[in-house]
Amino acid sequence: MAKRKSFEDILNAEFRWPTKGDKPFVVSDDPYDNANIAANERTRLVLMMKGYKEAADLMIERSAKDRWMRDTLVFPVIFNYRQFLELSLKYQLAVYGPPVDIQPNWETHELDKLWDEFLAMLEHYGTEDPDEADPVVGEIILEFAKIDPASYSYRYPVDRKGNPVPVAYSDLHLPTLADVMQAVDGYFTGCDGYLDSLVSA
């Protein structure tokens, strides 16, 4: 476990205070120093989908040897992985749903509903599941749907009425979560490639 900072360490640390002229959104003269925010919505969807997962992975890596950091980052980690799942399902439905008369669904945050629509889409394509990965991924997605039904539970400690939001687990092993989400990412990547080949044929 990382050594906790003493009060003296905190007092002597470099402290950044807001100063006149601070602007949060600026562009560097060197284009290689900038992050590009894609104008195309399809590109942006893919980058968001990958970005939320990558951010969660990096947070878990950063907190590996720091208990305080784990306790702090667990909330954005779970939120980011949930957002990755939601965007992955919405991406698949938006790209591969219309050819089989299933419309994109941008209206809901409900993972269980999006998963049902995704399975219906796969059925229309007549895809096989020799490794029986569909039910495994389904269980993972439905677990996220259960612990965070509306993408709210890990962003706020209370609901809109000020009532405490219950948490599903008091402890969580983050490296296992990251490993499982890596497998889910592989599943969606495989679906993307396979469905693309069917649509392109």
Mean pLDDT, 10 residues at a time, over the chain (201 residues)? 61 82 95 95 97 98 95 97 98 97 96 97 90 96 94 91 91 97 97 94 83
Give pLDDT, residue 55. 98
Give pLDDT, residue 1. 47
Give pLDDT, residue 6. 66
SS3 64: coil
Give pLDDT, residue 10. 63
Amino acid at 40: N
Give pLDDT, residue 15. 81
Amino acid at 47: L
Cα separation of 160 and 78, whole Å? 20
Q: Is pTM, for the whole model, over 0.95?
A: no
Read off φ and ψ for residue 25, nearest 5 degrees.
Answer: -115, 100
Closest-CA residue to 74 (of 148, 158, 139, 149): 148
Give pLDDT, residue 88. 98
